[in-house]
Amino acid sequence: MSEKMMNTAAFEVPKDKFRFVPMEGRTHDKKLETKPVGYFRDAMNRFRKNKGSVAAAWIILLLVLYAILIPIFCETPYSRALTDTMYLNYTKLPPKIPFLGIDGCSDVTVNSGKYHYYRAIAEETGLETIRATYRADYKDPTASGKSTFYDLRVDNYTSMGMLYLTLTGDQFEDIQKWQDEHGIQVIYPAIKDAKQTDANIWYEVDKKGQPKLDKEGNLKSIYRTTTPEDTAYHSLRIAADNDPEHPMAYARVAGTSTAKSYVTRINKYTYFQYRYGFEPGFVFGTNARGQDIFTRLAAGARFSFLLAICVSAINLFIGTIYGAIEGYYGGTTDLVMERISDILAEIPFIVVTVLFQLHLAKKVGVIGALLFAFVLTGWIGMASRVRMQFYRFKGQEYVLAARTLGARDSRLMFRHIFPNSLGTIITGSILVIPGVIFTESSLTYLNIVNLESSTMTSVGTMLANGKDYLATDPYIIFFPALFISLLEISFNLFGNGLRDAFNPSLRGAD
Amino acid sequence: MGKYVLKRIVLMLFTFLIIISMCFILVKLLPNKPAKQFGKDMQLIEMRREALGYNKPLLEQYVIFLQRSLIGQDWGVSEVLYLGQDVWGKFIEKMPATVIVNAYTMLISVPLGLLLGIYAALKKNKWQDQLISTLVVIFVSTPSYVYAFLVQYFLCFKLKWFPFQMNAGYDYFSWSTFVSIVPAVMSLGFGTVAQLTRYTRAELTEVLTSDYLLLARTKGLTRAQTTVRHALRNAMVPIFPMILGEFIGIMGGSLIIEQIFGIPGVGPLYVASVSSATPDYNFFLLLSAFYTLIGLVSGIIVDISYGFIDPRIRMGSRKV
């Protein structure tokens, strides 16, 4: 304005020299041909070039989706059945993923008694229990006695065999109705020898448990027969039950005459179909208590993620404010606050956790106490990071300019300095997440924090439970261990990538 | 230098006193009365508690605690785990196993980590470096208990090279005990080696690109000479304190690894003392004090050793 006035004062420009600016084709500076690249876009571009970090980001996304979606969509009557003790009968079933060729079978070496046991299940139920016989009927010179051995590939799902189940009249009736509808045999004939504890032995055996075979090498059945008038069972009958004069009995009747109960031999495989509505097949297998690992791991993962994000957010909040005040004011304030956080930082985390569990677990719950423990010392790292950034930026000219214009302290701190340290802060809070998940899994593994319940679990507890079956059923521990390793690796890769992207000068450090 | 060390030590003792006092008071505030139970002689228990001084006012107990425990090494007797036994004696008895496992880990992983780090730094941006760096990211991130499971499954169970658990007994230096410790050492070692490799590589690459190294080359030193005499020595400035700090820190041990491999050390003692239905408070207090002290001492040693190694950083604390 003043310049213009000066100009007019200096030169008297005649009026006819003036002309209108043409509105089309205005004479600007050269227009920018590309879009302006901001701080975050620049960081994103750099991040995208780091292939490892991008891959890690995708893996994290997959794991998060797994944790979110599986508990919602893959909930079955089986994994939801919490009060149902039936799942105790489906323990340690190996993974079965049909389209990947993982069929739930395992290679075993058994003696002849066990071999006939598997054979008998296959013969009775018509399900294929022995998938392949690698070596049959051989003698092992190191083993004593006359027993011979078989190398087999056994289907763990179909070889579960039979189970004695005591049913009420209504339940008995209901299963029969289902059998008629679906044409699948669930209840199998009762056997003569009521003392036989193993429901799978439907054939004659000697005292050692070896089957007594007839001349053709077939098993001799010991099914119980009944009178044709007995109409309690009126559903499907097995193929061998073809004598109308002496039909087989499908239950041993117990209880009083008014309240009858039926002791039945049911097939675990088909009973599963009747009870839960689908064929048994667990993607990650079941654990030693019969719980589905696939949904349970997802529940544990979901908890881990939620906890880590909560801790990260709370740390960010407290740490930012604390660090900002420290860094901005400096001097005595900084000194006193630093001493406080120094002392807090020196308390071993495990001691904090235990004390919080002992004091607070009854009042705010185990999870609340765990969260408090994480937050008590967790924000210190963030605070020191923010403090450093504030020291770096607070003396710069743009802050001085804002101050001269009369900006308040809080405005200077959070409007002017804070956005500049955002990159470091974001990286820091992302890198907190794997640490929290790792610590949480360690604590639950050691049973210092116990989150186990019918609906809840944690990765650490799953690992601790699976460890007892490391030699016999390694898949129980494999999937939780794989999950946590993948998570830790990809989070660290992702975090490092972010740090490099936001702060290229730090690339390769640490 | 002397003044600085003194200042740090006084500050450390002060911090330690605050933390342990907090622990003491928080523990004493917890309910610690044995429940009535059939077959328990409550009168006897009450007499015992009276004799041990559990019924005195909190402040008086605190003064006794300061005098007898912190100064006199008398941390009371165990209430739950080893009923009636001296807590301090039990702790000293458990110490060697932890120290030995962790000392072996350091002995093996420090040279390995340094060598790999130096190799990666010398081959910077070649395929060897890239391979090592990729492996390092994987090995640093994987939790140590995952290695423990892998080692236990493949080496102990499948190949039968090592026993599943550490040998019982106090015969720490026999060959069979050493073999039984190897799985634990390996599980702890993977992470340590990877961390050290990463650190060494980062430090060394930074030094290798500096001007004085170029000067050393121009005046006619061979590459090996510059690397060993100039670069390595300067790179060791931050690396050595870190190793030293870890060496002290290993006394704390790894809780999970000790539990997995059945090492009769301090870690399982701590876990057992807090995870039972009624915690063993005396053990808890002693071990909390121990872990706190370990952390403090390793921090202070790191800081002071900086000054001793590199005169340039003498005076003033380490600034991150």
**What is the reported pLDDT for A26?**
60
**One-letter amino acid of B212:** Y
**What is the reported pLDDT for A426?**
86
- Residues of A with Cβ-Cβ distance to B162 under 8 angstroms: none
Confirm whether B256 is domain-assigned: yes
ipTM, interface predicted TM-score of the complex: 0.88
Cβ–Cβ contact B296 with A under 8 A: yes
**What is the reported pLDDT for B320?**
38
Residue A509 and residue B19: Cβ atoms within 8 Å?
Answer: no
**What is the reported pLDDT for B313?**
63
**What is the reported pLDDT for A440?**
93
Selecting from A351, A448, A484 the residue whose C-beta is nearest the C-beta of B292 gives: A351
**What is the reported pLDDT for B251?**
72
Burial class for A331, CB neighbours closer than 10 Å (0-12, 13-18, 19+)? exposed
Residues B23 and B142 in one domain: no
Q: Measured between alpha carbons, how far is A75 from A278 in angstroms, rounded to an integer?
A: 12
Closest chain B CA to residue A343: B15
Q: What does the block give as tokens for A205?
A: 């055996």
Backbone torsions φ then ψ of A251, nearest 5 degrees? -160, 150
Confirm whether B63 is domain-assigned: yes
- Residues of B with Cβ-Cβ distance to A467 under 8 angstroms: 149, 260
- Residues of A with Cβ-Cβ distance to B275 under 8 angstroms: 446-448
Which residues of A, range 373-432, sit inside 8 Å of B by Cβ? 384, 388
Chain A contact probe: residue of B124, B136, B145, B242 with most A CBs at under 10 A: B145
Confirm whether B320 is domain-assigned: no
pLDDT at B245 > cutoff 90: no
- Give the tens place of pLDDT for each residue, B189-212: 999 999 999 999 988 988 888 888
**A431 and A495 in contact (C-beta within 8 Å)?**
yes
Residue A463 and residue B145: Cβ atoms within 8 Å?
Answer: yes
Residues B97 and B244 in one domain: yes
Give the residue numbers spanning the domain of B257: 92-266
Residues B65 and B105 in one domain: no
Residue A493 and residue B137: Cβ atoms within 8 Å?
Answer: yes
Confidence class for position B76, pLDDT limits 50, 70, 90: confident
The total of structural domains in chain B comes to: 2
Residues B111 and B155 in one domain: yes
- Residues of B with Cβ-Cβ distance to A354 under 8 angstroms: 274, 279, 284, 288
Residues B110 and B222 in one domain: yes
Confirm whether B159 is domain-assigned: yes
User: What percentage of chain B has pLDDT greater than the value 70?
Assistant: 96
Q: CB atoms < 10 A from the CB of B287, how many?
A: 27
**What is the reported pLDDT for A248?**
85
Closest chain B CA to residue A387: B320
**What is the reported pLDDT for A1?**
45
Q: What is the pTM of this model?
A: 0.86
**What is the reported pLDDT for B139?**
92
Chain A contact probe: residue of B141, B207, B271 with most A CBs at under 10 A: B141
Closest chain B CA to residue A497: B137
User: Which string of b and e fits A39-66 if b means at least 16 CB within 10 Å?
Assistant: eeeebeebbeebeebeebbebbeebeeb
Residues B196 and B258 in one domain: yes
Q: Measured between alpha carbons, how far is A482 from A300 in angstroms, rounded to an integer?
A: 14
Instruction: Provide the shortest C-alpha distance from residue A472 to chain B (in Å).
Output: 10
Residues B25 and B150 in one domain: no
Q: Measured between alpha carbons, how far is B208 from A395 in angstroms, rounded to an integer?
A: 33
Question: What is the pLDDT tens value at each position of chain A, 510 positions in all?
Answer: 455 555 555 567 788 888 777 777 666 666 667 777 777 788 888 888 888 899 999 999 999 999 999 888 887 777 765 667 777 888 888 898 888 888 888 888 888 888 888 988 888 888 888 888 898 888 877 777 777 889 999 998 888 888 888 888 888 889 999 999 998 888 888 888 666 778 888 888 887 778 888 888 788 888 888 877 777 888 888 888 887 878 888 888 887 778 888 888 889 899 988 988 888 888 898 888 888 899 889 999 999 999 999 999 999 999 999 999 998 888 899 999 998 998 888 888 989 999 998 888 888 888 999 999 999 988 999 999 899 888 888 888 888 898 898 888 888 888 888 888 888 888 888 889 999 999 999 999 998 888 887 778 899 999 999 998 988 889 999 999 999 999 999 998 998 888 888 876 655 444
Instruction: Provide the shortest C-alpha distance from residue A434 to chain B (in Å).
Output: 9
Q: What is the helix (H) or strand (E) element at residue B108, kind and residue range?
A: helix B87-122
Q: Measured between alpha carbons, how far is B229 from B277 in angstroms, rounded to an integer?
A: 58
Residue A359 and residue B142: Cβ atoms within 8 Å?
Answer: no
Selecting from B145, B206, B284 the residue whose C-beta is nearest the C-beta of A445 gives: B145
Q: Measured between alpha carbons, how far is B190 from B188 in angstroms, rounded to an integer?
A: 6
**One-letter amino acid of A276:** Y
**What is the reported pLDDT for A28?**
62
Confirm whether B308 is domain-assigned: no
Q: Measured between alpha carbons, how far is B272 from B264 in angstroms, rounded to an integer?
A: 12
Residues B177 and B198 in one domain: yes
Over residues B29-33, the mean pLDDT reads 80
Cβ–Cβ contact A458 with B under 8 A: no
Confirm whether B285 is domain-assigned: yes
Cβ–Cβ contact A445 with B under 8 A: yes
**What is the reported pLDDT for A4?**
52
Confidence class for position B47, pLDDT limits 50, 70, 90: confident
Cβ–Cβ contact A364 with B under 8 A: no
Q: What is the helix (H) or strand (E) element at residue A152, kind and residue range?
A: strand A149-155
Residues B105 and B82 in one domain: no
Q: Measured between alpha carbons, how far is B220 from B233 in angstroms, rounded to an integer?
A: 19
Selecting from A346, A441, A447 the residue whose C-beta is nearest the C-beta of B295 gives: A346
Confirm whether B286 is domain-assigned: yes
Residues B164 and B67 in one domain: no
**What is the reported pLDDT for A505?**
65
Instruction: Provide the shortest C-alpha distance from residue B170 to chain A (in Å).
Output: 25
Cβ–Cβ contact A363 with B under 8 A: no
**What is the reported pLDDT for B253?**
67
Residue A343 and residue B256: Cβ atoms within 8 Å?
Answer: no
User: What percentage of chain B has pLDDT greater than the value 90?
Assistant: 28
- Residues of A with Cβ-Cβ distance to B320 under 8 angstroms: 384, 388
Cβ–Cβ contact B275 with A under 8 A: yes
Confirm whether B312 is domain-assigned: no
Residue B198 belongs to a domain with what CATH number? 1.10.3720.10
DSSP for A44-106 reads: HHHHHH-HHHHHHHHHHHHHHHHHHHHHHHS--HHHH-SS-GGGGGSTTPPPEEGGGTEESEE
Residue B274 and residue A354: Cβ atoms within 8 Å?
Answer: yes
Q: Please give the interface size between A and B, counted as residue pairs whose CB atoms are below 8 Å apart.
A: 106
Residue that is written with structure tokens 């930012």 in the block: A320
Residues B124 and B260 in one domain: yes
Residues B166 and B207 in one domain: yes
Instruction: Provide the shortest C-alpha distance from residue A343 to chain B (in Å).
Output: 6
Which residues of B, range 21-60, sit inside 8 Å of A by Cβ? 22-23, 26-27, 29-30
Cβ–Cβ contact B295 with A under 8 A: yes
Over residues B113-139, the mean pLDDT reads 90
Residue A488 and residue B142: Cβ atoms within 8 Å?
Answer: yes
- Residues of B with Cβ-Cβ distance to A510 under 8 angstroms: 198-199, 202
